Structure 1
Amino acid sequence: MPLRTLSTFVTTLRARSAAELAPFAVLALAAAMLALFGKIADEVLDGQTHAFDEAVLRALRNPADPADPLGPPWLEHVMRDITSLGSFTVVALVTLGAIGYLLMDGKRLAAVFVLFAVAGGGLLSEALKLVFARPRPELVAHLVDVQTASFPSGHAMLSAVAFLTLGALLARVQSRRRLKAYLIFVAIALTILIGASRIYLGVHWPTDVMGGWCAGAAWAMGCWVLANWLQSRGSMEQTDANGPANRV
């Protein structure tokens, strides 16, 4: 066998092995996120996180005025804008836009799956809030209006569910690794910024946001594994750039 042919064969084999192992690695990471969520939830229920939560919220406010967040005035406005990206309205609009694109591209089952992934994650977030029923922090003034329970953070969880799911979907239609990495990075960065804004605005304890990140990431990764399995069985259209359902 010529050296060039052998090298191509080895490269192809490695790429195929990595693709086959990826779902197992993602599933293991999702399980780790669930385990971390369980640990955080257990400590929240036992009151073991109170000192940490309180210290972080106090550190982000003026010691002389708990209603005054640290930083210049414009930073508060920026945080209000960022936090709105994780609201139900914005996430719903982004999700509907993605679903519309998939429907126009002839990927009806993929569109249904995206709706299931995001809507299911949102319903799970609300169910968890009802189960834990943790009160919102009253240690500092709330800089935005809130009405629901505190744990887990709905903004943190919903943004993780929606943006990680859509980021992974967009990454699958790219053949260049640099673009794939960029899309995933943007999805993760948005999720982190939205969660951090909830703490800065005083409407969530830090552990609320951490729990939301863990639960949302676990749900998104579980959906990614399920989507791969359905596509391998031919039960859902391929979204990969080289998949049979794609057209020029």
Structure 2
Amino acid sequence: MRTDRILADSARRLEPEPPSDHEVPGMSRTRRVLFGTTTVAYAAIVAAVLGTSQLVRLDWQVMLFRPYKQWPQFHAFLDYFVVLGQRGPTAVMVAAWLSWRTWKQRSLRPLLVLGTALLLLNITVGAVKYGLGRLGPHYATTIGSAELFGGGDIFPSGHTANAVVTWGILAYLATTPRARRVLSVVSAVLSLAVGMTTIYLGTHWVSDVLSGWCAGLLVLLALPWCEPVIGRAEQWLLVKWAQLRSRWLPTPVTVSPIAARSGVIPPRGAADDAPLLQPVGAGAPARPTAATTATATARAAHHGLRGHTARHDRAAVPAPGNRRPPHAERPARPTGHRG
């Protein structure tokens, strides 16, 4: 395969295409109701923790029950299973899958949606974590206390909220209703299991997990409001990519099939050759300079041009038939009839 064909194929694959025509979820009435209900539940959990209510009492009862000691046979497995809620590993796995989706759909939206969701998650959950400063069950000091403002970062549960967001993104970006339903169930089961696992291991209070579910669900429900910004960011990135590609990648040369089979490359256009010629005086014909000659030689070597020798430089080829060289001293043969 010729070099110009390889460059043409590469440029065609890297050509930025318009965003995918897949349906973008909107802020429907059902989604608005769910968003409002989840917000109220989240606020109620925060208020219950701040007021040291029955929810805090439940936290201490479960913590003193120590589930990891009641069922120690599950500890080894659940210690690895909880990684499905850890931000680093889950973000890498989901980003790898969405990168393939980005290449297949020729759209940056899947990765941009993931990045937007993780950014919202870090801002909202991180603000509450460091604002309340709650200590975890392993670092609690006073029985019955909510352990707030102690310099901790346990409320809400980051593992639970991250599991809701990262696995819920797959359902949010699903392209068919059936896939959306299946992935919604899978993400809900995973986030529920991760939250319960943190309670079993004793790394989170029950109220931490409840608030983590609400915090992650709020991020997913709020994503349609971010879609216009995501669309503008995608267009801007595509324009920048097209500018970089046109600057660093050479322009592919289109060669006809006849020229490709014969090994002859058609001459380049006048627009390409004009900068190589230097005008000599007014009305004088353009003459190639040393730089012009060197550039033309390099171009010919790159395209595999073969020079043809002039006819007077070629070696003489003897005519077919008798190939014996003539003898100047040999007498001429008589042509008359012998007697």
Q: TM-score, normalised by structure 2?
A: 0.53
* Residues in 2 aligned to 1:57 and 1:126: alpha-carbon distance in whole angstroms: 24
User: In the alignment, does 2:71 pair up with 1:76?
Assistant: no
Residue by residue over 1:4-45, the C-alpha shift from the partner in whole angstroms, topping out at 9 and shown as x without a partner, is xxxxxxxxxxxxxxx999722012101211111111001111
Contact 1:53–1:207 under 8 Å retained in 2: yes
* Residues in 2 aligned to 1:219 and 1:236: alpha-carbon distance in whole angstroms: 19
Instruction: Tell me which residue corresponds to 1:169.
Output: 173
Instruction: Tell me which residue corresponds to 2:50.
Output: 45
After superposition, the CA RMSD in angstroms is 2.9
Matched AA of 1:111: L
Contact 2:170–2:183 under 8 Å retained in 1: no
Contact 2:168–2:183 under 8 Å retained in 1: no
User: In the alignment, does 2:212 pair up with 1:212?
Assistant: yes
Instruction: Tell me which residue corresponds to 1:116.
Output: 116
| Structure 1 position 154, deviation (Å) | 0.5
Instruction: Tell me which residue corresponds to 1:32.
Output: 37
Max radius of gyration: which structure? 2
Instruction: Tell me which residue corresponds to 1:16.
Output: none
Instruction: Tell me which residue corresponds to 1:181.
Output: 181
- When residues 148 and 107 of structure 1 are mapped into structure 2, their CA distance, relative to the original with a 3 A threshold, is farther
Contact 2:133–2:154 under 8 Å retained in 1: yes
Contact 2:56–2:207 under 8 Å retained in 1: no
User: In the alignment, does 2:90 pair up with 1:91?
Assistant: yes
Matched AA of 1:221: L
Matched AA of 1:174: T
Contact 1:26–1:221 under 8 Å retained in 2: yes
Contact 1:167–1:184 under 8 Å retained in 2: yes
Give me the identity figure in percent. 22
Contact 1:103–1:111 under 8 Å retained in 2: yes
- When residues 188 and 236 of structure 1 are mapped into structure 2, their CA distance, relative to the original with a 3 A threshold, is farther
Residue by residue over 1:193-217, the C-alpha shift from the partner in whole angstroms, topping out at 9 and shown as x without a partner, is 1111110000110000100101111
Contact 2:137–2:202 under 8 Å retained in 1: yes
Matched AA of 1:93: V
Contact 1:152–1:209 under 8 Å retained in 2: yes
* Residues in 1 aligned to 2:26 and 2:117: alpha-carbon distance in whole angstroms: 22
User: In the alignment, does 2:193 pair up with 1:193?
Assistant: yes
Higher helix share: 1
| Structure 1 position 236, deviation (Å) | 8.7
* Residues in 1 aligned to 2:153 and 2:83: alpha-carbon distance in whole angstroms: 18
| Structure 1 position 119, deviation (Å) | 2.8
Contact 1:95–1:118 under 8 Å retained in 2: no
- When residues 199 and 26 of structure 1 are mapped into structure 2, their CA distance, relative to the original with a 3 A threshold, is same
Equivalent residue for 1:54, pick from 60, 66, 70:
60
Contact 1:109–1:236 under 8 Å retained in 2: no
Q: Which structure 2 segments of 5+ residues have no match?
A: 1-23, 141-150, 235-339
